[in-house]
Chain A
Amino acid sequence: MNIKFGLKKVTIVLAAALLSMNMSAKAGVVYDYIKANNELMIATDANWAPFSYIDDDGVMQGFDVEVGREIAKRMGVEARFITPDWDIITAGNWNMRWDVSVGSMTPTASRSEVLNFPATYYYTPASFAVHTDSPVTTLAGLNGKTICTTAASTWEMYLQGDLDMLGAPAFTYKVTPGTITSLKDGSMCADDTRLGAGVRNDGFIDSVPMIEGLIDAGYPVRFLGDPAFHEPLSLATDLGNNDPELDAELARIIAEMQKDYTLSLLSIQNFKSKDYTIAY
């Protein structure tokens, strides 16, 4: 049960709106609210195993979720997860519906117009995958073909040739798709790919751990070529309710979790003994 009319928040949003008219940094508004409410509201996708998903008991699980819980623990508050659509999270203007996104978001120039990226917590490669029967053997073979991806994702930006990542290693556009099919999430793409090579799409692009999960689940897909690019994945907070104090606290906690190997341990537990928390 989470009926919440958020009346208490109205005053805070109004106060935040008034303050933003002065264009001054409103230090601590969100952070104070978290502390006063004793609850960190974390937005994350619930349809993206092994990063975040709902288990049989209806409890959120996965790497992002465990990182989120740990952040809340170190903040000394309870964690509560909210699961809006990915494009609603990346669009910003959260109006304090949730405080932070722990959802493996890549910092990009366009996203930074509406969001802050207080701390990068791990790095994953993104890769193309095709049906096992696909005749395509090289990345160049996908040129002009139909490629599926998640709407409002960095992979979609990559396919569009418009990926403006911040603080990421250099990369090149190795594929120029003919048609881009943008669906709600990567598992929908994989379901289409499963139907056969070239039926609904000729391949898709997603994060490497996700594709490994697909292969484990018996999906007839295989990796195509080397990873297309590597992306840093970060926490995100709302620029509309800019709160430097919260950002500083999040950055401090992530640095601490890196130092005591908590992040590495979580990565090893969730990603088949691989540590994705080290930059390359």
Chain B
Amino acid sequence: MFVDTVIEDKALHKPAFLIGLFITVLAIFFALNFTNTLFGEFLRPVIGDPKESGFFGRFAVSFVLAILFVLNLFAISFFKLKIQIAIVWLELFLLFLAFAYSFDLKMSFIQSRIPLMITRGLFTTIYISAISIVIATAIAIIGAIAKLSNNGFAYAISSFYTSLFRGLPLLLQLFLIYKGLPQLGFMVDAVPAAITALSLCYGAYMTEIFRAGIQSIPKGQWEASRALGFKFGLMMRKIILPQAVPIIVPPTGNQFIAMLKDSSLASVLGVWELMYLAKTLGARDFRHMEMLLTAAMIYWALTIVLEVIQARIEEKYKQKS
């Protein structure tokens, strides 16, 4: 956010806000009814058997939870911003772990299958995504240039391409390529079909991102470089693209993250990537949540890596400008 010198009192330090927050949270907890969960068990000494505590038990549980919630926020508000962020992240992560824990997971089951998930599943997911990202970027650069050109053919082809591939669901494209191409005599196996569909679909989105980034450079920049006698190629390399890239980076990073996760669609073609193994490895013993949650954590860790890389690149361009 932009740096503001106007500093107001913290809302959390106003009694009226605190009371309002407390009542709202109390109402929400009461409506959701946590009596029959772990929280009810904690309050057993006060409310007796949670199942038979009725209205009083439900109110008592919500009351205690609401007080804890508001006190927690109030306490956090005294810390410095960075520590606040760290605490909230930690608390949300613990809540997520509690959510996972509530499935009564069998850790030994996960441990025995994690090597396969990583050597086979993660590896396949990464190489499908990495190849697709490279191809999609290449398509997007060509597509953006074509869309910005005065050549009627180039513009028509690239705009038809972006319209078609942004207009169809990715899963449908996958099936069209996997089932359709062989009928024309081109045999594509599952992995190449998945890579083709991902590249074409994300290439179309990224074409639009690249085009918009280049077009967002003010007209004056183009005119000034022309007035200085720059040729088109030189103008692009030295004036326009250095300014456009910082604009292009954040949405492109988003596309990479989305593509990494959409590579899971290859599982419908029977490719043994992360999602497919997550669905099937638990099948024999009917322990699905173990494998699904493991895959969820792996995907999440992967996207965090991508987010960090994206933040680094953005930071680099911020320093430059």
Do A and B make up one complex? yes
**Residue pair B285, A217 in contact (C-beta under 8 Å):** yes
Q: What residues on A are CB-neighbors of B190 within 8 Å?
A: 82, 84, 97
Chain B proximity mask over A1-20: 1 for CB below 8 Å, otherwise 0: 01111110110011001000
- Which B-chain residue is minimally distant from A194 (CB atoms)? B286
Q: What residues on A are CB-neighbors of B285 within 8 Å?
A: 49, 217
- Which A-chain residue is minimally distant from B119 (CB atoms)? A58
B64 to chain A, nearest CB (A): 29
Q: What residues on A are CB-neighbors of B270 within 8 Å?
A: 46, 82-85, 88
- Considering the chains assembled together, what is the distance between the CA atoms of A55 and B115 in angstroms? 12
- Considering the chains assembled together, what is the distance between the CA atoms of A85 and B286 in angstroms? 19
B53 to chain A, nearest CB (A): 23
**Residue pair A5, B277 in contact (C-beta under 8 Å):** no
* A82, A97, A219 interface centre (most CB from chain B within 10 Å): A97
Given contacts A5-B192, A13-B182, A88-B269, is CB(A53)–CB(B283) below 8 Å? yes
Q: What residues on A are CB-neighbors of B112 within 8 Å?
A: 56
Query: B residues 266-298 with Cβ under 8 Å of A?
Result: 268-270, 272, 276-277, 279-281, 283-286, 288
Report if A48 contacts B (CB, 8 A): yes
* B112, B190, B283 interface centre (most CB from chain A within 10 Å): B283
**Residue pair B116, A57 in contact (C-beta under 8 Å):** yes
**Residue pair B179, A83 in contact (C-beta under 8 Å):** no
Q: What residues on A are CB-neighbors of B261 within 8 Å?
A: none
- Considering the chains assembled together, what is the distance between the CA atoms of A135 and B232 in angstroms? 78
Partner of A187, one of B191, B272, B283: B283
**Residue pair B182, A84 in contact (C-beta under 8 Å):** no
Partner of B191, one of A3, A54, A55, A56: A3
Report if A182 contacts B (CB, 8 A): no
**Residue pair A47, B269 in contact (C-beta under 8 Å):** no
Report if A113 contacts B (CB, 8 A): no
Report if B311 contacts A (CB, 8 A): no
B180 to chain A, nearest CB (A): 10
- Considering the chains assembled together, what is the distance between the CA atoms of A47 and B282 in angstroms? 9
Q: Is the interface of B mostly helix, strand, loop or mixed?
A: helix
Report if B229 contacts A (CB, 8 A): no
- Which B-chain residue is minimally distant from A43 (CB atoms)? B270
Given contacts A49-B283, A56-B112, A187-B283, is CB(A14)–CB(B189) below 8 Å? no
Q: What residues on A are CB-neighbors of B188 within 8 Å?
A: 5-6
Report if B166 contacts A (CB, 8 A): no
- Considering the chains assembled together, what is the distance between the CA atoms of A48 and B279 in angstroms? 11
**Residue pair B269, A3 in contact (C-beta under 8 Å):** no
Partner of B280, one of A47, A88, A219: A47
Report if A93 contacts B (CB, 8 A): yes
Query: A residues 35-68 with Cβ under 8 Å of B?
Result: 46-50, 53-58
Q: What residues on A are CB-neighbors of B192 within 8 Å?
A: 3, 5
**Residue pair B182, A95 in contact (C-beta under 8 Å):** yes
Report if B183 contacts A (CB, 8 A): yes
Q: How many residues of A contact B (CB 8 A)?
A: 39
**Residue pair B283, A13 in contact (C-beta under 8 Å):** no
Report if A190 contacts B (CB, 8 A): yes
Partner of B286, one of A3, A13, A55, A214: A214
Report if B120 contacts A (CB, 8 A): yes
**Residue pair B189, A6 in contact (C-beta under 8 Å):** yes
**Residue pair A93, B179 in contact (C-beta under 8 Å):** yes
Chain A proximity mask over B184-196: 1 for CB below 8 Å, otherwise 0: 0111111110000
Given contacts A13-B182, A85-B270, A93-B179, is CB(A53)–CB(B187) below 8 Å? no
B11 to chain A, nearest CB (A): 41
Query: B residues 102-140 with Cβ under 8 Å of A?
Result: 112-113, 116, 120
- Considering the chains assembled together, what is the distance between the CA atoms of A83 and B272 in angstroms? 8
- Considering the chains assembled together, what is the distance between the CA atoms of A60 and B100 in angstroms? 29
**Residue pair A190, B286 in contact (C-beta under 8 Å):** yes
Q: What residues on A are CB-neighbors of B186 within 8 Å?
A: 10
- Considering the chains assembled together, what is the distance between the CA atoms of A219 and B284 in angstroms? 13
Partner of B187, one of A2, A55, A57, A97: A97
Partner of A48, one of B116, B120, B183, B283: B283
Q: What residues on B are CB-neighbors of A7 within 8 Å?
A: 187
Q: What residues on B are CB-neighbors of A49 within 8 Å?
A: 283-285
Partner of A58, one of B120, B185, B187: B120
- Considering the chains assembled together, what is the distance between the CA atoms of A10 and B189 in angstroms? 11
A200 to chain B, nearest CB (A): 15
- Which B-chain residue is minimally distant from A44 (CB atoms)? B270
Q: What residues on B are CB-neighbors of A214 within 8 Å?
A: 286
Chain B proximity mask over A120-132: 1 for CB below 8 Å, otherwise 0: 0000000000000
**Residue pair A5, B185 in contact (C-beta under 8 Å):** no
- Considering the chains assembled together, what is the distance between the CA atoms of A4 and B194 in angstroms? 12
**Residue pair A96, B187 in contact (C-beta under 8 Å):** yes
Question: What 7 new A-B contacts, CB under 8 Å, besides A6-B189, A83-B280?
Answer: A5-B189, A6-B187, A7-B187, A49-B285, A187-B286, A213-B286, A217-B286
Return the 8 tightest CB-CB contacts between A and B, nearest first.
Answer: A95-B182, A84-B270, A83-B270, A49-B284, A6-B187, A53-B284, A217-B286, A58-B116
List 24 interface pairs A-B (beta carbons < 8 Å), by A numbering: A4-B191, A5-B188, A6-B188, A13-B182, A13-B187, A47-B279, A47-B280, A48-B283, A49-B285, A54-B277, A55-B284, A56-B112, A56-B113, A58-B272, A82-B270, A84-B190, A88-B268, A93-B179, A95-B183, A97-B182, A97-B189, A97-B190, A190-B286, A191-B286
On B, residues with C-beta under 8 Å from A are 112-113, 116, 120, 179, 182-183, 185-192, 268-270, 272, 276-277, 279-281, 283-286, 288
